[in-house]
Structure 1
Amino acid sequence: MKKPLLLFLALVLFVSCQIFKPVSKTQSEISEKKETIKEDPSSQISIAELDYEWYSSRASASIVNTEKQQPITSLNLFIVIKKDSIIYINANKMAIELGRIVLTPDSVKYINHLNSTYYMGTYSIIHKLLGFPIDFFILQSLLMNADFKNFENKFSTTTAESNIILQDENRKHKQSSLRLNQRIILNDNDRIIENHIVEKSSQHTLTVNYTDFTNIASSLRMPLAMEVNLETQKINVSFTYKNPKINTPGPTYFKIPRKYKSLEF
């Protein structure tokens, strides 16, 4: 159960690399912002994103082997995100904590209570498990139904019925050699309903679909369902969110019990 649980928690987490200074906001200032995507000076498309400082939600999640159509495992999760700072995920079953993972922009910390082990290190472990170069901010964006930060915005745009399709076959990260073949589909409210990503060097493919959008505060809309498909690994992960909240600080506690042993990979 050591690697399956870490793999499960790693699958919950996907990200990119840019740090913003937190800005304090009053509740009346919280709103849905739109990031402008420019193909050229005469073309503009906006992607609606949730404006928040804290986000928390309970969720149920399950992993399926898509090659054999065989369930791997299912867990309950409690997710807390402090924007651009911390992602905390507690995995439990029948109210018993199985493990937790705490991510910052430069570190990964993981505890497995089933076999009294822990890991503290860099994002290389998630890259190794997933075969996909994921870091904190790509993960935060995927969890929060947002576009990736610190990438060039040179999308071509097309429309299909009421949807807008943004495509860039060679989207470049501004601070690394990472290149993506990326397609984003927006609904008629400019929210992301599909994010299809191919990492250029490895050709590993990740597709995330978002459904069941609902207002969580005033006009702030977030999906209550997210489905992640790792095509190369033949794994599908489904999330259903329950009672999401914004701007209510949550736990980010992480402490390694004395007798726990470090994991080696």
Structure 2
Amino acid sequence: MSCGRILKNVSVNEPSYENMSVKRVSVSVEAQGKSHSFRASYRIKRDSVIQINAQKATIPVGKLEITPDTFRAVYYIDKEYYEGALNYLSKRMGMDIGFDMFEAIFTNQLFSFRNNPKDRDFRDFHCVIDDGMYRISSMKDRKLRKVIRKEEKLERYRNRFDEEHLIRQDIYVDPNRFVIRKLVFNDIDYNRTMSLDFSHFEMIDGRWFPEEIRLKYTGKENYEVKVKLSRISFDQPESFNFRIPSKYKQILLN
């Protein structure tokens, strides 16, 4: 099946919504030999705002609001709140992460990592069969091997897409349900990889949606995050108020 046909089928099966919420999120984190766990919830107003609340046991820990340009975070324990442009998070993570990427991951939808508008429709992506799924990649395997072997080829390829460093994106699509089962980002320049696995799909309002997400990051530091979702709903009445206590200390992040 062609890339275009696969992508069209995925788009047809994506959740259609104006707002969505996940009332119960169980999160466990493995990092540097230590384990952490907490509970959360999140809600999304399409193309507008993402709000996340986190708590440890029954104690509220913090909340985060992301918009297409900015973010705000409240940390209840130290009575502080943080504000900054969204590109601050990109700098901290070492990847150019925009609002559309956060939104797509939280809703299991397609997106292109590249910022170039001509790549929004995946015209330069290539399709193969891998591990019983369709794998749609931003760079052919053969091209990747050539680029890695020679520095001048890497530089030419990077300049072609006007990128500071080169990241290959792989999208794994279930051939039966046409949902995204896995996303892999391979940062070639910095030798680091981030993968997201989506599993335990359930039918919600006529659409398949994952109830488990596993994120794995390998680089200078390694960590793994496992997320279980429940009480998922679409287009139910939601309040998107984001109140910041007046006496909390403000910290601006640039």
TM-score, normalised to structure 2, is 0.78
CA RMSD of aligned residues (A): 2.5
2:147 is matched with none
What's the CA shift for 1:200? Answer: 5.0
2:17 pairs with 1:52: yes
1:157 is matched with 127
Q: What pairs with 1:225-264 in structure 2 (closer than 5 Å)?
A: 225-232=212-219, 233-263=221-251
Superposed CA offset, 1:27-78 (max 9, x none): xxxxxxxxx953xxxxx3222321111110121111111x53x21x211111
Work out whether residues 83 and 252 of structure 2, in 8 Å CA contact, stay in contact via their aligned partners in 1.
no
For residue 88 of structure 1, what is the amino acid of its counterpart? Q
Work out whether residues 169 and 180 of structure 1, in 8 Å CA contact, stay in contact via their aligned partners in 2.
no
2:209 pairs with 1:222: yes
For residue 238 of structure 1, what is the amino acid of its counterpart? K
What's the CA shift for 1:202? Answer: 4.1
What's the CA shift for 1:201? Answer: 5.1
What's the CA shift for 1:121? Answer: 1.1
**5+ unaligned residues in a row in structure 1: which ranges?**
1-35, 39-43
Instruction: Considering fraction of residues, name the structure with more helix.
Output: 2
Relative to 1, partners in 2 of residues 1:98 and 1:208: Cα closer, same or farther, differing over 3 Å?
A: same
Partners of 2:130 and 2:96 lie apart in 1 by 31
Which of 127, 139, 159 pairs up with 2:90?
127
Partner SS for 1:50: coil
Partners of 2:135 and 2:162 lie apart in 1 by 26
Deviates more, 1:254-263 or 1:77-86: 254-263
1:64 is matched with 30
Q: Considering only CA atoms, is the larger Rg found in Structure 1 or Structure 2? A: 2
Work out whether residues 159 and 165 of structure 1, in 8 Å CA contact, stay in contact via their aligned partners in 2.
yes
What's the CA shift for 1:264? Answer: 5.7
What's the CA shift for 1:256? Answer: 2.0
Aligned residue pairs, count: 219
**5+ unaligned residues in a row in structure 2: which ranges?**
141-156
TM-score, normalised to structure 1, is 0.75
User: Percent identity over the alignment?
Assistant: 22
Partner SS for 1:169: coil
For residue 79 of structure 1, what is the amino acid of its counterpart? Y
For residue 218 of structure 2, what is the amino acid of its counterpart? E
Deviates more, 1:197-206 or 1:160-169: 197-206
For residue 229 of structure 2, what is the amino acid of its counterpart? Y
Partners of 2:207 and 2:184 lie apart in 1 by 24
